[in-house]
Amino acid sequence: MKFIGQNRIYMELDILLPQIKNNELNMNFLFRGKSGYGKTLMGLKICSYLANNNYQYLFADNINDINTEATAIFIDEIHLLQVPEVLYKYLDKKKPTFIFATNEFADLKEPLVNRCTVYTFEDYTEEELLDISKLYINNEKFSDDMLWLICEAANKNPRKISNLCYRLNAISNKIPLNNLEELNYVIEKIIGIVDGLDPMCLKYLEILERLSTSSLENISRVSGISKATIQHEIEPVLLYRNRISITSKGRSFIK
C-alpha cells in the first residue's frame, strides 16, 4: 500500500493490516484531519488491500445500504451521521472492518470514537508536498521552485495541489510554462490565486476590509459563501496568514 506522507500512521498500519487480513486481529479505524489531506484515499487503499473488490464505500447519508457480507466498509464524512448508535452493533463485532473519515473540526459521539483506533492526519512536510506535486504535474522539467510555487498557491493542501496541477496541465497545452515567471503569471492572472489566496479568500478579505468588523452571518450573506465553507476552508487560511482576527465581537480585518 503506497501513500505519500503520514508516515507515522502508515508504519503502524503496515504492521496491523496484514494481521487483520489473516484474521489474526479485528479492528475499526477512524481518520481525522483537514479536508484534502488524503483520508479518503488511505481509507480506500486499506479497503482494497483487505478486501480486493469485496468492500463498500458509503457516505453517512446512505448508511442504510450497509452490506454486512463485505470484508471492509469505508464511510466518509461520518460526522454527518445523525444516529451513530445504529453502527455500534457492527463495530462491537469488528466484522466487517469499518474505516471512518471526518474533518478535524467535526464533533463525534464518544462511544463511536471509543470503538475505533483513531489516527489524526498531520501537516505534510515540504518534501512530501513536492513529491505530491511531481506526481500530478505533467511537465518533468519543472524546477523545485516552480513546484513549490504550486504548493504554496494550493495552501500546502494535497487535494488542492492535485486540482491545481490538473488545471495547469490543461493550460500548459496552450500557454508555455517554462519558468517561474510564466507559472506565476498563469496562477495569478488566469487562475486568480494571489499570494496563496484563492478567489474565495480574496473575496472574503475584500468584504471584510470594507466592513472592518462583521459577523460570520453577515459575511456569508454578502459573499454568498456558506458559513461552513468560510469556517472550515477560508478562515483557517486567513488566520494562519494573520490576515484576520476572530473575537467575541466578530471577524476583523488586519491591515
**pLDDT, tens digit, for every residue of 60-88?**
877 877 898 999 999 999 998 989 999 99
Domain 7-120, CATH among 1.20.1440.230, 3.40.50.300, 1.50.10.10, 1.10.3720.10? 3.40.50.300
Are the beta carbons of 164 and 135 closer than 8 angstroms? no
Reported pTM: 0.86
**Class of 199-253 in CATH:** mainly alpha
Where do the structural domains in the chain lie, given as residue ranges?
7-120, 126-191, 199-253
Nearest-angstrom CA–CA distance, 126 and 27: 32
DSSP-assigned letter for residue 96 = S
Q: What is the pLDDT of residue 138?
A: 93
Q: What is the pLDDT of residue 205?
A: 95
Are the beta carbons of 37 and 121 closer than 8 angstroms? yes
**pLDDT, tens digit, for every residue of 161-179?**
999 999 999 999 999 999 9
Cα dist from 178 to 139, 143, 186, 191, 195, whole Å? 9, 10, 11, 17, 20
**pLDDT, tens digit, for every residue of 187-212?**
999 999 998 899 999 999 999 999 98
